[in-house]
Structure 1
Amino acid sequence: MYHKDLQDQVVISLREQIQKLETFPAWNSRAKFVILLLTEEAVDARDVAKYVLQELWKWKVMNAVLLLPTSTNKSNVSHVLMYTWFPYQLPSGLCGELRDVIHVNSWILDKDGGRFLQNSSLYPEKVPVDLKGCPIRASTFEFHPFIICDKHIATVTNSSIIDGLEIRIMRSVAEGMNMSLILRIPPGDDRGGIQLENGIWTGLRADIIYGKADIVFASLLRKLEDHLIFDDTINYFTDRFTWFVARAKPYPRWLAMARVFDPMTWLVGFLVIILSSIFMRILYSFHTVKHKEVSHDYWRFAVCLSSIWAVFLGEGVPIMPCSLPLRMFFLSMIIYSLAVNTIFQTFFTSYVVNPGLLHQISNVDELVDSDLIYAFYYVLDKFFTADFLQKLKPRVQCEPFKCLDYVATQDNYATFCGRALLAYIVDELVKQEGKHEIYAFREDSFQLNSVMLMPKGSHLFDRVNMVMTHIVEAGLPNQFLKTILDSRRIEAGILALEDLSGEYSALSLSHLQGSFFFLLMGVTLGLIMFLLEVITYYLIGYSK
């Protein structure tokens, strides 16, 4: 009982000192600690050492040496016992559980002052290369293509995780350390998590704070706030972030004919027809052509206009020109019409098959001047200036996948996220009923690094970083992502083969809307002119 009270006093005193040290910015639980226990009472050195080191382990202090002075009598100190422990080496510890302390060395007093009994290090490596299958708890959240869950399982659970870039990286890290990976998906919809006003944490970060995970990941971006509270690993993946908007709508097919030339070219073309008709009329007026060489009816302006229009369309004229001046003029018009018609027919076919797109918003200036709704995750706010955020209104906050779904469903949404996410989900997303294509800006706004978070002072932090460095230097993250995206494209291609027969079809009314539109317009104008002539005829006849 007496020894128990003494141990409690030692622990209470130690706890108070650690709590005070922990408030300093320089606090580092992975540092080397020396604890000196001064007592005049006889104690069981091993029990006291185990009790003290176990208390230190609650504060993630592992590199600690406990000094216990012993003496043969109350006045002379003969030597100092030194104790430590090894969390992953039996018989001292098993997978981080303290089982017994190790007498690592002793300091012997002699006439020369003193010496160590053994020539051994007081702070040997506590985390071995081979951790012998000890578990490492990892919390994550479904986030393509970093964490992929089985889509055939309705409820996302721990066992539904099947693949992903970060899953492959984490499995490689666990394999390199010879640890058993235990994956967990926390409840709720908050992926990263934040600290609420009442101090409660949510999401993945809550699992670290409350000791439910040794490491968390789900495309978490490097932030200063995380670095102050958690230990963040090295950068293992860099994603390029840009804006995504709905693909511009295609031109109406009835405009296919009109889009071959710009308005000015069309205007010049019709002016050429009118001026050519006038020129033909001038040829007769100035007697350039003898009257006997051509019929008088040929020189009416209406006939001249219809003849030039026929030449322009590649059709025959009602009266064959016989005089040399007319033939030379007609030959020049035929050559001109041939060149114009060749260009028109070539581009007309292209526009019928692919009518093209209306104006596409393709840069930030056009985006800001538009009336779109901006939807992106709140975590990205800190990467924009305050002035720029003020321009991004109206604003909707949502997870990246949900934001992209808004863009694919509605035309008036824009989102900001990484290209890796779009590359993975775009094939499946845009093929759904009621979805349209998504356009990504060509220029990237910036690049952000993904990290994994661990508890502050985690003893596995250095080993995880070492293994992860080897993985990054080998180029495995990019290779993992390429393999995942290739598999995704192959799957999408196989699904598309079922509908391959529908990719090619005969030209329908939708393809030839332009032709029928102008035909209808011509018939309508002709009918109007016919009715006007009939009305005029009856009015003139009635007046007579």
Structure 2
Amino acid sequence: MSVLALVESHPNSSAISPLEHTHVVSCDPNSSKMSSLEHTRIVSCVPNSSAMSPLEHTHVVSCVPNSSEMSPLEHTHVVSCVPNSSEMSPVEHTHVVSCVTNIMFENFPLDRSIFVSNSRTDSDLADTLLKAIHDLAMWPLQASKPSNATDKNAEKTSSYIFVTRTIEDLVVEVEEMSGEASWDSRGRFLIVVAVNMASAEQVALSIVHELWDTARIPYVMVLVQQDTLLNVYSWFPYTSHEQCDDVESVVLVNQWVMEGEGRFVKDVKLFPYKFPNNFHGCTLKISATFKDYSEDKLVSKLFVALNLTLEYVSDFPYDAPTYEAVQSSLADLVLGKSDVSYGGIPLIEKATKYADPSFPYYVLKYSWFVPCPKPFSRLQRISHIFSISVWVAIIIVLFVVAVTCWLLAKQTNDSHSYTTFSNALYNTWAVTVGVSVTEMPRSSRLKLTLLVLVWYCFAMSTVFQTFFTSFLVDPGFQEQLTTLEEILDSGIKFGFSNDTDIFYKESSDWRHKEILDRREECKLPKTCLDRIRETGDFAIFVQDWVVQNYTNDINNPNFICPLNDDNSFLVFLSLYVQKGSFLLELINRLVTISTESGMASKMDRDCTITNRDASYSADIFGGYFVFTLNHLRIAFYILLVGQGISLALFMCEHICHSRRA
């Protein structure tokens, strides 16, 4: 029969003296085979243990043969079960309160609330501490005791004080508190152990280890009394490659001497920044939705600069739907498979319920892209330099002047070059096109008529030549689609991926509802962009960088144009860490440095240049224009038409002359 069964089954166990209890434990032949937990239960089951003397308590603890093999947590259980060892005198209570208030003044911000939790309702130390903090009236104070509901304050609490006797009570209290909206595991925690412990360092190590495993609390100080000293312990991660984020030891940061009014031995900062600039090659687990983009290169460069070894725990295919990839990446984070998740993950409220986002480091722009307008025909543009009415007026003026010159020449017996209508029309046309007439007129009235025609033709030809040259160089483009209404009214087909439906689902705008009803699905943006380039009868709603990379690949950015900015959406991308992760502070610092220094923009620009086709050449000469024979084609067309008319007239004259002869 085991010692535990023997003690519990003894009918008169309550009558056994403390010394007899000790001998019962020590005489058990199987005591060396018992577990540490059973040893602890043996000590706690002694009914009259409260009546033992300190010496007898020591015998009870020392009788456990495997005590040297127990973990720090089991040591704490054995020690904490001795009731007389936890009793503090009023003087010691006073020193603990003085030490705690001193730490508060030096390390807790005055404008933020302090949460004080007592794991036992009968703790005189906790009541004394609460009264002292309340009397100071320096901080907003929140207090909690077992079975009392805490106020779900939306504001994050940055400072915590826990008064505890056992680790179990502390862990239960932390687990309950971690579900509150005001909980912040990145805050500053002060754990006050209301027990005078002989193994203070082991107790502190157990507490820090449990808080790290339970809630990932990095900034924690443990205050433990050891004889006439109050020891303040903490721990520091990433001190070497062997000790990364595993709690293996604690450091004695400071000591409070309980003499007179009490004082600290050293003047040191109790809550320093704990994360170094060199992580000694420790591993950081990454879940990225995609790799080899500017975003991935930026994040990798930031972490590698800190000497972190990146381990990718997921590998998503290139053509994986964005929503599914983001969902899987966040799932890896929530399940503890990764430490950091990124890769096109937007800053949205739904995701923040399960993970903590960093500061945005990249702005993603979703825009509508439509086919660029086609250029006008040069012949069409030249024919529209003047309206039809102006062209008719010019022709009428030409014939009126020709008739006038013919009549004036007949009245004044002027040169035979104007006495016939054909000769007068020929000379009038010569003035119109800016060439010399066959013979100068002699009469003043004929000269004045031709002079007025010269002024008129000079003005009209100047205007015509100006537009003619401009349209030869650049005939202009047809009207482009600029609004959503024009896209819907034009009847052009459009589409986008299912992931982007979220931009329009919650909208009450009739245009957005019609877009969702009529849109086609674009599983791969490249397919839809190919359709725009080949047919010019499709529009797409997609990220700007997708279009930029596509046009760089084909070295042709002139076939697709963006809609106006009124129909664009900005998406802020963030890195995500586990809820309450200490990495958030570090990542926010890195993001701030990279964005303010322009490093993020440079990485994006370098990635764009790298992906650009080698044959791409930027227009560095300000848009110069090469004038070729192709642009003079319309002039040759007009010349051919004129020569054709001349040939026809020549043939007509020749035929008429032959018949007369």
| TM exceeding 0.5 | yes
Instruction: Rate the CA distance shift 1:24–1:356 in 2: closer, same or farther, 3 A.
Output: same
2:340/2:577 contact within 8 Å kept: yes
What is the count of residue pairs matched by the alignment? 483
1:438 counterpart residue number: 560
Tell me whether 1:223 sits opposite 2:348 in the alignment.
Answer: yes
1:452 counterpart residue number: 575
Aligned partner letter, 1:3: S
Tell me whether 1:179 sits opposite 2:308 in the alignment.
Answer: yes
2:633 maps to which of 512, 518, 526: 512
2:147 counterpart residue number: none
Instruction: Rate the CA distance shift 1:33–1:358 in 2: closer, same or farther, 3 A.
Output: same
TM score, norm. by length of structure 2: 0.57
1:87/1:98 contact within 8 Å kept: yes
2:377 counterpart residue number: 252
Instruction: Rate the CA distance shift 1:57–1:520 in 2: closer, same or farther, 3 A.
Output: farther
Aligned partner letter, 1:24: E
Shift of residue 246, structure 1, vs aligned partner: 1.7
1:24 counterpart residue number: 180
1:99 counterpart residue number: 248
1:134 counterpart residue number: 282
Partners of 2:314 and 2:458 lie apart in 1 by 70
1:352/1:512 contact within 8 Å kept: no
Instruction: Rate the CA distance shift 1:409–1:299 in 2: closer, same or farther, 3 A.
Output: same
1:88/1:127 contact within 8 Å kept: yes
More helix by share: 2
Tell me whether 1:389 sits opposite 2:512 in the alignment.
Answer: yes
Unmatched segments (≥5 aa) in structure 2? 1-33, 41-72, 78-165, 620-624, 656-661
Unmatched segments (≥5 aa) in structure 1? 72-77, 149-163, 196-200, 497-502, 535-544
1:467 maps to which of 570, 590, 595: 590
Instruction: Rate the CA distance shift 1:166–1:303 in 2: closer, same or farther, 3 A.
Output: farther
- Of stretches 458-467 and 303-312 in structure 1, the one that deviates more from structure 2 is 303-312
Instruction: Rate the CA distance shift 1:409–1:455 in 2: closer, same or farther, 3 A.
Output: farther
Shift of residue 461, structure 1, vs aligned partner: 1.5
Q: Percent identity?
A: 21
1:3 maps to which of 36, 40, 44: 36
Shift of residue 42, structure 1, vs aligned partner: 11
1:168 counterpart residue number: 298
1:186/1:203 contact within 8 Å kept: no
Aligned partner letter, 1:208: L
Q: Secondary structure at the match of 2:629?
A: coil
Instruction: Rate the CA distance shift 1:267–1:514 in 2: closer, same or farther, 3 A.
Output: farther
Aligned partner letter, 1:281: V
Aligned partner letter, 1:187: F
Shift of residue 480, structure 1, vs aligned partner: 3.4
Q: Deviations over 1:171-198 (max 9, x none)?
A: 13541x3323445663244465469xxx
Aligned partner letter, 1:94: Q
Instruction: Rate the CA distance shift 1:401–1:182 in 2: closer, same or farther, 3 A.
Output: farther
2:208/2:234 contact within 8 Å kept: no
2:128 counterpart residue number: none
Partners of 1:18 and 1:396 lie apart in 2 by 51
1:204 counterpart residue number: 329
Instruction: Rate the CA distance shift 1:346–1:116 in 2: closer, same or farther, 3 A.
Output: closer
* Larger RCO: 1 or 2 (CA < 8 Å, sep 6+): 1
1:171/1:181 contact within 8 Å kept: no
1:539 counterpart residue number: none
1:85 counterpart residue number: 235
Q: Secondary structure at the match of 1:461?
A: helix
Aligned partner letter, 2:281: G
TM score, norm. by length of structure 1: 0.68
Taking the TM superposition and a 5 Å limit, the aligned residue runs for 1:240-279 are 242-259=367-384, 261-263=385-387, 266-279=388-401
Shift of residue 94, structure 1, vs aligned partner: 1.5
Query: Larger Cα Rg: Structure 1 or Structure 2?
Result: 2
Shift of residue 243, structure 1, vs aligned partner: 3.8
